[in-house]
Amino acid sequence: MKIQNIYVEERVKEHSKTKKILGKIKFENIIYCKSYTEILNPTNQNFRIQKMNPSLILAKKENNFIFKTPKRFTIGFYKNYYFSHMLNCVYDCKYCYLQGMLNSANYLIFVNYEDFYLSIKKKIKELSEPICFFSGYDCDSLALEHITNFLEEFLPHFKNLRNGYLEIRSKSVNTSVLKKREPLTNVIPAFSLNPQLVIENFEDRTPNLETRLKAIKNLQEKGWNIGIRFDPLIFYGSKKNYINFFEEVFAFLDIKKIHSVTLGNFRMPKNYLKKMAKIRPEDKLVQQNYVNLLFKKENKYSNHMVFFCYQQILKFIQKRKVFIN
């Protein structure tokens, strides 16, 4: 990986994780700053231009390490939280909400991993009941693991965490961190999937469907129980395409080693979608959803398709394992 500019907060320049990350990256310039917000937050930035050549920011997160998920967001647990050790993604999905949420496309990595774990441990002790923590909410959990080594350090902690469960969500096939260790019953690697036609048209820079399925199958063969995430489902093409898609996925994978399946349609806060409509004027998916939002028009087709897909999935997976988010 080669980066032109790396920004490093003064307070983390001697941090062990900072030094390890810098040792793995080829870069031209290193620039020290007081706070990552100086680089990430200014409004006079062009997300689309930055996406072509993003910089890297190494920083320390001070507080608010974990957050409650939206109410319906679950894979079977009553208590659900998410955390983001990184902001932004190496991929460029046209429907990604990050381009509506953030002003900058630069990658931000918080190097104080230990504080995320301590916050998780504290929350488990506080609630004294099973809790699922979701990684990959504001980034891809695996895509830059070879640089960050976040999971390399994080997974051993979960081995001994009673009542703590971790979902690792990704589109990446960079699964070496999982392949080289014994599977953990309280860690669920979860992979986002869409039909290949959708991947080609809406999920720029991501691995194709065949490559993702092979990576998932390989992890299953090593003993991991996997989460399958059809979320968001982007409806493009005919219903027959989706019937064939689900048949392909579940015929290839080991159904017994599927922990859970989620599905949901394209959804986004109004202010995010408004911003995306400005920076992606050529994108029909974004523009149509923005028009629907402006005129408070319910996308009945999308809702119908979610239910249709749900029915198709139930042909292969037990109902108790399938969640509409």
Sign (positive or negative) of CA dihedral 10, 14, 17, 20: positive
Q: Rounded distance, CA 157 to CA 122, Å?
A: 13
Tokens 């402006």 sit at which residue?
294
Q: Which residue, among 47, 20, 114, 9, has the nearest Cα to 279 in the 3D structure?
A: 47
Domains along the chain with CATH numbers: 2-324 (3.80.30.30)
**pLDDT tens sequence across 220-262:** 999 999 999 999 999 998 999 999 999 999 999 999 999 999 9
**pLDDT tens sequence across 302-312:** 889 999 999 99
Residue 183 CB: number of other CB atoms within 10 A? 14
Contact 152/145 with Cβ under 8 angstroms?
yes
Q: What is the average pLDDT across 6-23?
A: 97
**pLDDT tens sequence across 185-209:** 999 999 999 999 999 999 999 999 9
Q: Which residue, among 138, 79, 97, 155, has the nearest Cα to 280 in the 3D structure?
A: 97
**For 265-273, which contacts have Cβ atoms below 8 Å and span 24 or more sequence positions?**
265/232, 265/233, 265/235, 265/299, 265/302, 265/303, 265/305, 265/306, 266/95, 266/232, 266/233, 266/234, 266/302, 267/232, 268/97, 268/100, 269/97, 269/100, 271/100, 272/97, 272/100, 272/101, 273/100
**pLDDT tens sequence across 54-107:** 999 999 999 999 999 998 899 999 999 999 999 999 999 999 999 999 999 999
Element (H, E) at 176: helix 176-179
What global pTM score does this model have? Answer: 0.94
**pLDDT tens sequence across 97-116:** 999 999 999 999 999 999 99
Q: Which residue, among 59, 73, 58, has the nearest Cα to 167 in the 3D structure?
A: 73
Backbone angles phi, psi at 92, to 5 degrees: -140, 55
Q: One-letter amino acid identity for 224?
A: W
The pLDDT value recorded for residue 159 is 87
